[in-house]
Copies of this chain bind each other. A is one copy, B any other.
Amino acid sequence: MLPAQHDSTIIRSIYDHSLSQSDCFKNLEILCRNYPKRLAGSPGAASAVEWTKKIMDDYGFDSVWLQPVMVPHWVNIEKERAAIMNADGSKTEVTVCALGNSIGTGPGGISASIIEVKNFEELVALGKKSIEGKIVFYNRPMDPLLINTFEAYGGAVNQRHAGAVEAAKYGAVGVVVRSMTLNLDDYPHTGAMRYDDTIPKIPACAISTIGAELLSNELKNNPSLKFYFRQNCGMQEEVLSYNVIGEIKGSEHPEEVIVVGGHLDAWETGDGAHDDGAGCVQSIEVLRIFNELGMKPKHTIRCVMFMNEENGLRGAKEYAKVADEKNEIHVFAVESDAGGFVPRGFGLDGPDSIRNKIIEWCSSLEPYGIHAFYHWGGADISPLKEQGCFLAGLAPDSQRYFDVHHAATDVMENINKRELELGAAAIAALIYLVDKNGLK
């Protein structure tokens, strides 16, 4: 019985510290206030890298360093404009934003007939004759019936990722994608789209859900109406950027690494408070908690601020590549990239034998509301899986995430201090359990 009691005491200390002396909220305020625009390659990202390194240095982690990585540099220069062109010659403005990685429309914008579809199969059925020269409007909503909103996102997001490529195959001149949110509101939600070098590149934007509903209704009345949008954005030369890394050296297995991370880059629509400022400050906080409570980990614990998760994953790939080159052994990696909401459990991605052990250990986190276990890790740590690293992801309650995801609402005002702190504590407690018990 003694070891279990000891665990519960340590875990209680972690939570006590988090709920009374955490720097999470303060650090996230600084990050969002001073570095709100920090998409990979931007000056804001460069400043955020410097600041993040400085706070890790100031916390006195055993080592802090920058890991260079070349990143894409997508820029979005002017406020986007869009309107429904009514039959009577009037215009109804609607709210859009450029999709990340999209080309611009040119200064004159694009004006064309618009055709609504719900999925790629409809494109096939319509064929080139119906689509050529038009804008394609993807309007399949996220499914509100799914309890976990990430599943609903997964079921809709191919419209944003691949919509331009699929529509361009049939000669479309642009795409407008319904924003990835369950809310009916007037905030457009951006996010990455991608081109295929063999298919013509056409501009892509996201329309707010209110705009999407309006447009869809207008199209019912007048299927031949035209749509206009203008955006001034595009990809520039690649830029040298960095992953920011801090670590506490392990006392027994310094050569075995446990990673905890989030991504420092964020879409320019909001301040990246939940996505993923929260994950960054929580990851730093985990190491800080170990130091503050005098907990000496057996394994090396490393926090990583990955660069360029949003539109390239270059930081993640570089981190894994360097780890490979250096023959580093990564035993466990936890990512926090699902928002700073109240934690409900973890994604756990790896062999069932280990997964079941971790779930058993996590019974000591039940009094703290940890009860749900999924089968995923996270995008930035995913390249480590090949090396046999067991992956985990913080699973906060998902209900509010897509209210703010990639939108102007992803700001500090929508962060709850305690929820953020409980997330940091949950990750610290999980890492404590894994570090202490080992995964072998």
Binding site for B on A (CB under 8 A): 15-16, 19-20, 144-145, 147, 149, 182-183, 342, 344, 367-369, 371-372, 397, 399-400, 403, 416-419, 422
Q: How far is the CB of A398 from chain B (nearest CB, A)?
A: 9
Q: In the docked arrangement, what's the CA distance between A75 and B371, Å?
A: 45
| Residues on the B chain within 8 Å of A400, using CB | 416, 419
| Residues on the B chain within 8 Å of A403, using CB | 416
Q: In the docked arrangement, what's the CA distance between A369 and B368, Å?
A: 15
Evaluate whether A417 and B183 lie within 8 angstroms (CB atoms) in the complex, with A145-B15, A147-B15 already known: yes
| Residues on the B chain within 8 Å of A368, using CB | 147
Q: In the docked arrangement, what's the CA distance between A368 and B344, Å?
A: 12
28 A-B Cβ contacts within 8 A? A15-B145, A16-B145, A19-B144, A19-B145, A20-B145, A144-B418, A147-B367, A147-B368, A147-B369, A147-B422, A149-B418, A182-B418, A183-B417, A342-B342, A342-B397, A342-B399, A344-B369, A369-B372, A371-B371, A371-B372, A397-B397, A399-B416, A399-B418, A399-B419, A399-B422, A400-B416, A400-B419, A403-B416
Q: Apart from A15-B147, A399-B418, what are 7 other A-B pairs with CB-CB below 8 Å?
A: A144-B418, A183-B417, A344-B369, A369-B372, A371-B371, A399-B419, A399-B422
| Residues on the B chain within 8 Å of A342, using CB | 342, 397, 399
Q: In the docked arrangement, what's the CA distance between A374 and B182, Å?
A: 31
Q: In the docked arrangement, what's the CA distance between A182 and B419, Å?
A: 12
| Residues on the B chain within 8 Å of A417, using CB | 183
Q: In the docked arrangement, what's the CA distance between A16 and B145, Å?
A: 5
Copies of chain A in the complex: 2
| Residues on the B chain within 8 Å of A183, using CB | 417
Q: In the docked arrangement, what's the CA distance between A368 and B147, Å?
A: 6
Q: In the docked arrangement, what's the CA distance between A400 and B414, Å?
A: 11
| Residues on the B chain within 8 Å of A371, using CB | 371-372
| Residues on the B chain within 8 Å of A399, using CB | 342, 416, 418-419, 422
Q: How far is the CB of A341 from chain B (nearest CB, A)?
A: 9
| Residues on the B chain within 8 Å of A416, using CB | 399-400, 403
Q: In the docked arrangement, what's the CA distance between A156 and B20, Å?
A: 17
Find the B residue at minimum CB distance from A20: B144
Q: In the docked arrangement, what's the CA distance between A419 and B400, Å?
A: 8
| Residues on the B chain within 8 Å of A144, using CB | 19-20, 418
Q: How far is the CB of A308 from chain B (nearest CB, A)?
A: 31
Most buried by B among A369, A400, A419: A369
Most buried by B among A367, A368, A403, A417: A417
| 5 nearest CB pairs, A to B | A371-B371, A19-B144, A399-B418, A16-B145, A342-B399
Q: In the docked arrangement, what's the CA distance between A403 and B400, Å?
A: 17
Q: In the docked arrangement, what's the CA distance between A149 and B371, Å?
A: 18
Q: In the docked arrangement, what's the CA distance between A19 and B342, Å?
A: 21
Q: In the docked arrangement, what's the CA distance between A16 and B144, Å?
A: 8
Q: How far is the CB of A179 from chain B (nearest CB, A)?
A: 16
| Residues on the B chain within 8 Å of A397, using CB | 342, 369, 397
Q: How far is the CB of A181 from chain B (nearest CB, A)?
A: 11
Q: In the docked arrangement, what's the CA distance between A413 and B149, Å?
A: 20
| Residues on the B chain within 8 Å of A418, using CB | 144, 149, 182, 399
Q: In the docked arrangement, what's the CA distance between A149 and B418, Å?
A: 10
| Residues on the B chain within 8 Å of A422, using CB | 147, 399
Most buried by B among A15, A147, A399, A416: A399
Q: In the docked arrangement, what's the CA distance between A403 and B418, Å?
A: 11
Q: In the docked arrangement, what's the CA distance between A147 and B12, Å?
A: 11
Q: How far is the CB of A148 from chain B (nearest CB, A)?
A: 9
Q: How far is the CB of A186 from chain B (nearest CB, A)?
A: 14
Most buried by B among A149, A183, A371, A419: A371
Q: In the docked arrangement, what's the CA distance between A342 and B344, Å?
A: 11
